[in-house]
Amino acid sequence: MKLSNVFALCCLLCGLAGNSAPAAESRNLLGAWLVQPRSAPGVLMSTATFTAKRDGVVGVWRANDGLSRYSITNVAVSGDIVSFKLADGNDSERWQGRFISDVELRIQPTDSDLPAAVTTLKRLSPGDLAKLQATQPTNLITHKVPLPALKDLPSNGLALTPPMGWNSWNHFLEAIDDRTVRETADALVSSGLRDVGYVYVNIDDGWQGRRDSKGELHSNSKFPDMKALADYIHSKGLKLGLYSSPGPVSCAGYVASHGYERRDADTFARWGVDYLKYDWCSAQQIYRSREEMRALYQKMGEALQATGRPIVYSLCQYGLFDVGSWGRKVGGNSWRISGDIVDSWASMSRNGFEPHDDPAIARPGSWNDPDMLEVGNGGMSEEEYRTHLTLWSIQAAPLILGNDVRTMSAPTLALLLNREVIAIDQDALGIQGKRALSREGTEIWTKPLKDHATAVALFNRGASAALVAVSWSDIGIAGARHVRDVWKHADLGQSEATYQVSIPAHGAVLLRVSTRS
């Protein structure tokens, strides 16, 4: 195996020392280090141990599977900067990084083409190591496994309009359980959200339990019977989504599908799962090339299709490696195009106004995904949440709610229930809208709709109210048009050539512009 993979895992080890490191620095670097998966404190993927030899510091990296072992040489430390070479006899790679403190190190390969491949290493005392080893998930495969030859999978025929539903992560993080999911399903029905299209009930990270000695993955004690939960959700006219990762562990450190793809896909299908979000995360500690990433996603895409059950396949890999050019080919129905959204104007604006995608790629069955919604979580104003939904709808983005729908306010529900806004997102043509004009903090975006209509979104990104005007001819619309404000459900009459409106700070207006009402 190429060491390349290793590192990531290994990296942790890196730690250490300097060629001719001064004694004090060398002492700080020696000992055991844990590779810390992102947001997964306590998961032991691999360790590195550094020892002082007569001619400098050397290290050894061991994966938690007990199979992989790499040597670390050429260790150098200068101030906070650390570098080393990782080798397995056939291959070697250089890594570099810095100490954040005496007990934490962040490093990455110097030749990486994977921007997010920064790995955190945490110092381990011998006692910590023993404790971790006693509580680790078992049967993790942390070395490279054979990957399928790349090919283009057929479409699964699903998600002909952008998926709509709810996901647990943005509001609940890992604090999710069977009861909360059932109550959420009930609330989706009683609130009317199901009936306007929000049908997927997606359990994100935190449902996974252990993998038994036969390789079968089980849910954890918070989800005592996943099949019964799926039955309940289906009985409400809803669909169940789950989350896993192509790496050995998920982002939050739970057992994931690496090396067990077929097995897990069969389990998901048997439970009655209708949607899988597949999150790169720890896979980046083993695989780092575009081909490997594509092959891993293809592997699960093939496994899902082989089950014969219709399962929407949602790729979550933060837009790395130009996923838009191959996401559909691995059977994907959507792919993330950015890092995680959080519930703030700045974060929502980054994901929504500055997407790193090619709008032309979106079409029925496969969608660019700027991440799940934060509407109703409390970090933005009602006006900003309206802008959030307008941006996602004009871009034909998946509309996956991220709030607690059991307790949402009436204004939040009113935003989410607006059928005319949803109709723009879900328009059958499946064309992703894009920015047409931008000036002084205001923007006009357009999206072609069926029946020769056009959705026109006017945004004010500024911190005070602004007059926003648009000439139809500037956005490719010829002649007079009937104009409807879809947020207000109000016909605005016939407009000859231009339209203008005062928009509050961080606000948006969404119009349906057509030849007749």
Positions touching ligand GLA (CB under 6 A) are 39, 169, 204-205, 250-252, 279, 316, 340
Q: How far is the CB of 414 from ligand GLA (least distance, A)?
A: 26
- Whole-number minimum distance, CB 314 to ligand GLA, in Å? 10
Helices in 308-418 by DSSP H: which ranges? 345-353, 382-394, 410-416
DSSP 445: E
Give 250 or 257: the residue with its C-beta nearer to ligand GLA: 250
Of 279, 357, 369, 371, the active-site residue reads: 279
Nearer to ligand GLA, 93 or 279 (CB): 279
What is the closest distance, in whole angstroms, from the C-beta atom of residue 375 to ligand GLA in the complex? 16
Q: Output the smallest distance, CB 303 to ligand GLA, in A.
A: 20
Q: Which residue is nearest to ligand GLA (CB)?
A: 251
CA distances (Å), 219 to each of 153, 223, 316, in order? 29, 6, 21
340 is annotated as an active-site residue:
yes
When the beta carbons of 256 and 269 are compared against ligand GLA, the nearer one is 256
Quick one: the chain helix, strand, coil %, rounded to 5? 30, 30, 40
For residue 435, give the H/E element and its range.
Answer: strand 434-439
Residue 391, judged by CB atoms within 10 A of its CB (0-12, 13-18, 19+), counts as: buried
Q: Closest distance between ligand GLA and the C-beta of residue 120, in Å?
A: 15
Dist CA 264 CA 258 (whole Å): 10
- Please say which residue, 251 or 513, places its beta carbon nearer to ligand GLA: 251
Per annotation, catalytic residue among 128, 340, 358, 485: 340
Q: Nearest CA to 122 among 95, 101, 97?
A: 101
Q: Strand 454-460 and strand 508-514: pairing?
A: antiparallel
Closer of 177 and 279 to ligand GLA (Cβ): 279
Tell me the C-alpha distance between 299 and 280, whole Å. Answer: 13
Task: Give the C-alpha distances (Å, rounded to integers) separating 321 from 9, 98, 148, 288, 371.
Answer: 20, 25, 18, 10, 17
Q: Is 358 a catalytic residue?
A: no
The catalytic site residues sit at: 279, 340
